[in-house]
Amino acid sequence: MKKTAKKTRVGRSDWIEAGLWLLAEDGLESVTIDRLCAKLGVTKGSFYWHFKGSQEFLQSMADYWSNTADFLDTLRNSDKDDWEQIGEIARRVGDLGYGRIDKALRVWAESCSDTAESVRKTDHDVIQFVFEKLINIGLARTDAKILSEMIVASGIGLASIDPSPAPKKQKQMEKLWLQLIQSLKN
């Protein structure tokens, strides 16, 4: 008797992550139930087990992207120092390719107010996190506020022109930002 491989159960987050990657690869029109099923190797019944329909799924994608609290809390509670925590956000965008998803979400947000709100929430949360870290490093509140926005905005811009920067480029950017921060502390 031939053994068959046990199918891996596809959960709600698997669907959402697959949708986000389809969005990044080929745009919003590519995020269809058929393409998702093909990508995950499952039937439409599995999709409808987790979502009522396409609209709920798309909203779930935007909500999932804007839920940065767990990731930021994990960083806050890590052994990394404040600057390393800021760098970890940059590495996540670069190394994991999330810059491509971020760029695609921003394009989608231009035509969808719910997605635009999710993008704004993510931006706000990340800017606030970087602001907190810069305050901890010793910057004045005014400088930390402006610099946190500059760091996040430059990351967004870089993701638009270079969604998967090389580690060497990331290290150079981190070094320059750190030099700028050090100059503001003096």
pLDDT tens per residue, range 119-167: 999 999 999 999 999 999 999 999 999 999 988 888 788 777 776 677 7
Based on the domain organization, do 101 and 167 belong to the same domain?
Answer: yes
Count, residues in the chain: 186
In a domain? residue 73? yes
Tell me if residue 9 falls in helix, strand or coil.
coil
Tell me the CATH number at 57: 1.10.10.60
22: part of which helix (H) or strand (E)? Answer: helix 12-26
For residue 134, what pLDDT is reported? Answer: 93
By percentage, how much of the chain surpasses pLDDT 70?
89
Q: Domain total for the chain?
A: 2
- Residue 72 CA neighbour count, 13 Å, CB half: 17
Does 6 map to a domain? no
> DSSP secondary-structure letter at 74?
H
- 35 and 105 in a single domain? The answer is no
**Residue 130 near residue 151 (C-beta atoms within 8 A):** yes
Same domain, 155 and 76: yes
φ, ψ dihedrals at 165, nearest 5°: -65, 150
Question: Is the pLDDT score of 91 beyond 70?
Answer: yes
**What is the pLDDT, as a whole number, of residue 151?**
86
What is the DSSP annotation of 129-142?
Answer: HHHHHHHHHT--HH
Whether 143 and 108 map to the same domain: the answer is yes
Say whether 155 sits in a helix, a strand or coil.
helix
Examine the domain organization and report whether 26 and 48 are in the same domain.
yes
57 and 73 together in one domain: no
Domain extent, residue 40, equals 12-63
Domain limit, last residue, from 31, 46, 63: 63
What is the tens place of the pLDDT at every residue in 96-106? 667 788 889 99
